[in-house]
Chain A
């Protein structure tokens, strides 16, 4: 939950993106700095491996993750879970399914959770934030009060409430629960960034030249707000994975686990964590690594885009 210092950080970010005119040169100089940053390179490498793994998973995995191939080695009575063995390098899970294949295919769902949650959160935030920031006036007041209400609930509680709302818990309800928490953050971020620009020289100039409001919003203000949004999105990719795991831990994960997801695997491993730690450690390690990857990239991007660092 990086959402920690929320409003403060959101607004700081927004102000950082407010530096107009510099669009291209900022990107170029940022890229120059990023290339030299070891943190960024490590993060990018992790993400690269993760994405490749998710894409190739169907070919790399030797077994169907839903099949109880090692069923006969599972015994609840004797607390037996299949150990590593030829053909099953990581052994099986509580239901005798191949852990290696589940880990590999789990990367797909995990990537899906991260990306979809971020896209939905960003999309919702984009609509609300643009409305508020571009139009201002009473629209701004109403939207921002709504955003404040959402922000006033600690993020996990909001996610839990949303998650519990659905009659059937599926991967999608988890994604939605995680995403909704992000909407107010993106909204506030975009609004702040746009407000900063409304008063800026190039927007004033465009207005003086008679450019229509819609054109100003979409051609000038939105593109210039992208920097902070990209930073926040990268961080949210990490948050989404961690929050999804937390929801699973609280029993609000997807009920059907025939399609594996790392957070769900970790959540389900909690009652055998002492006797069969591998069931928790593999997904936990994967989640931590990938979340770290996104965080590294996000933080390096933030540093690189920070005008203060352009010296």
Chain B
């Protein structure tokens, strides 16, 4: 690597023909930067975003780029401790379940106002829940109310059963929420961004529920485009679409400690390399999910790279539908023995990545050390294939292009390594690659793949958010219904989630994790990869969150 120091290159350029221009431009850039740094109170932070936010009404959103923005403006009844995954009070100071886990009483924080000046009270809480529960038409589509349908199920029309029963404002400071059944995910799921509290007055005034399908897409409400109103430390200041930048301003009547920054800008830079270079050139102050290949370079160049605890899972997916051999447990165990996960993790995954024992990371309830481990053992794999009569096993192995995921930073090299391992165990691998949105997801989700690479980043600290999402439906990507235990697994997951007693629930999940590895093995868990976030060295107070739920109110930008 021959990199001239910037200063030296600058001198070289000054000596060149373009000296005059070069100098004036550099001087200009420098002066601009100085102004930004030495700002009066608080200053401005510009954060690079990989994509444009879809809209600013978190209820209808489900993507990280949107939530990154709305998270600064909105808050939930329940929050997540900074830097961790445990619950902590946010807009509710206390909550109390009834014996059967169906009735939850929330004591609300006092003196909280929305950005439009209206008070936050029990009526506002219930108005929010009623609004979510009473969605109609396009608002019920999973593309919009994804998190509601995932967590609460159905809506007021009763077409699908709903977890939500009612909300009552006992007094201005107390809201009571009733559920139709007990679930281990409540109240944790209230920490999901989609269920953050919004100003009922603003929702009403700007027709927040006015979403509709038009042509091939969805049209959002005026509220979602221009008037998001929450209780958070920042308020919406504008979205300059032509320039791809969202601007937030400090909310001066925030109930807690005021934000350090007076302005917070999100600048969209879709290209990964361009984001890094913008940071290096000082045009942005930070960005999320730097490419692991750049981690060391960024550190070497003096940037503050923070690695979060991994809260995701990469697995080798197996579809039992198309290749009858894969419905045989011995064959799936052979696959698990064939792959060398230790080498894969150390060679192709970033620093801090771990081999996965369970289908979720160890910070989640019910994780257990006590599961069967399939050591890398090609001999054993061959033997098991022989026992199953599958010495000449041929599999289609699907892998995606045009995508990186925090759990899967470089699909091609992960695939390459796994392929070699499988072939070393005598399995013939038929590679099938498609673009992520160009057929890969289609194939996997309609169970057309045989082997595939996929994973998941957790939304909340709940086992159901991982294994429930993966294995609840017997006709999912794994097609577990091809095996006699497919429905049973589904029932066991349901039973564990419905158990109101925390200790019993944990025990049930531990048992499930053991069975998933030893008896079912519907997929092979591979790894947990830590995602990173990087900021320039004058940014202070950023607390990385394993759930990637960073709030920027504690951040300050110095000179």
Contact = CB atoms under 8 A, between A and B. Distances in A.
A275 B1 contact: yes
B410 A79 contact: no
Interface string B411-453: 0110010001000000000011111001100000000000000
B273 interface: yes
B225 to A, nearest CB: 30
Given A168-B434, A169-B401, A256-B431, A76 B348 contact: yes
Interface in A275-298: 275-277
B291 to A, nearest CB: 6
Interface in B99-127: none
A79 B291 CA distance: 10
A251 B410 CA distance: 14
Contact of A76 (B402, B410, B416): B410
Given A95-B413, A271-B291, A276-B1, A76 B350 contact: yes
Nearest to A257: B412
A65 to B, nearest CB: 14
Contacts of B317: none
B396 to A, nearest CB: 12
Contacts of B184: none
B401 A271 contact: no
B292 interface: yes
Contacts of A95: 413, 416
Contacts of A256: 431, 433
A219 interface: no
B15 interface: no
B294 interface: yes
B273 A270 contact: yes
B415 to A, nearest CB: 10
B297 A76 contact: no
Contacts of A274: 273, 276-277, 297
Interface string B287-317: 0000111111100000000000000000000
A299 interface: no
Contacts, number: 70
A273 interface: yes
Contacts of A167: 434, 438-439
Contact of A251 (B350, B351, B402): B402
Nearest to A78: B296
Contacts of A75: 346-347
B276 to A, nearest CB: 8
A203 to B, nearest CB: 49
A141 B258 CA distance: 71
Contacts of B432: 168
Contacts of A277: 1
B510 to A, nearest CB: 32
Contact of A275 (B297, B409, B410, B438): B297
Given A169-B433, A255-B401, A256-B433, A76 B409 contact: yes
Contacts of B439: 167
A71 interface: yes
A233 interface: no
Given A71-B347, A164-B438, A77 B295 contact: yes
Contacts of A164: 435, 438
A242 interface: no
Interface in B348-362: 348-351, 353
Interface residues of A, number: 26
A271 B432 CA distance: 24
A76 B433 contact: no
B347 A74 contact: yes
B contact patch SS? helix
A77 B351 contact: yes
Contacts of A275: 1, 293-294, 297
B314 to A, nearest CB: 14
Interface string A228-258: 0000000000000000000000010001110
A76 B347 contact: yes
A225 interface: no
Given A76-B350, A271-B291, A275-B1, A251 B413 contact: no
A67 to B, nearest CB: 10
Given A168-B432, A251-B402, A256-B431, A79 B409 contact: no
Task: Please indicate which of the listed interface residues A68, A74, A75, A76 has the most CB atoms of chain B within 10 Å of its own CB.
Answer: A76
Nearest to B345: A77
Nearest to A268: B412
Contacts of B475: none
A300 interface: no
B272 interface: yes
A199 B276 CA distance: 61
A211 interface: no
Nearest to B439: A167
Contact of B273 (A76, A273, A276): A273
A251 B294 CA distance: 20
Contacts of A193: none
A251 B401 contact: yes
Contact of B292 (A77, A168, A255): A77
Given A273-B273, A276-B1, A79 B434 contact: no
Contacts of A276: 1
B305 to A, nearest CB: 12
A213 to B, nearest CB: 47
Interface string A184-209: 00000000000000000000000000
B353 to A, nearest CB: 8
A94 interface: yes
A272 interface: yes
B350 A77 contact: yes
A270 B198 CA distance: 43
A271 B295 contact: no
Nearest to B409: A76
B445 to A, nearest CB: 16
Given A76-B350, A167-B439, A169-B401, A271 B272 contact: yes
Nearest to B442: A167
Interface string A86-106: 000000001100000000000
Contacts of B401: 169, 251, 255
Given A251-B402, A270-B273, A275-B1, A76 B438 contact: no
A77 B420 CA distance: 21
Contacts of B420: 68
Contacts of B292: 76-77
A274 B300 CA distance: 13
Nearest to B438: A164
Given A76-B347, A76-B349, A271 B433 contact: no
Contacts of A271: 272-273, 291, 293
Interface of A: 68, 71, 74-79, 94-95, 164, 167-169, 251, 255-257, 270-277
Given A76-B349, A76-B350, A76-B413, 10 more contacts: A68-B416, A76-B292, A77-B292, A77-B351, A79-B293, A164-B438, A167-B434, A274-B276, A276-B1, A277-B1
13 contacts: A71-B347, A74-B347, A76-B347, A78-B351, A167-B438, A169-B401, A251-B435, A255-B433, A271-B273, A272-B293, A274-B297, A275-B294, A275-B297
- 6 nearest interchain CB pairs? A255-B433, A77-B351, A79-B293, A251-B402, A79-B296, A77-B350
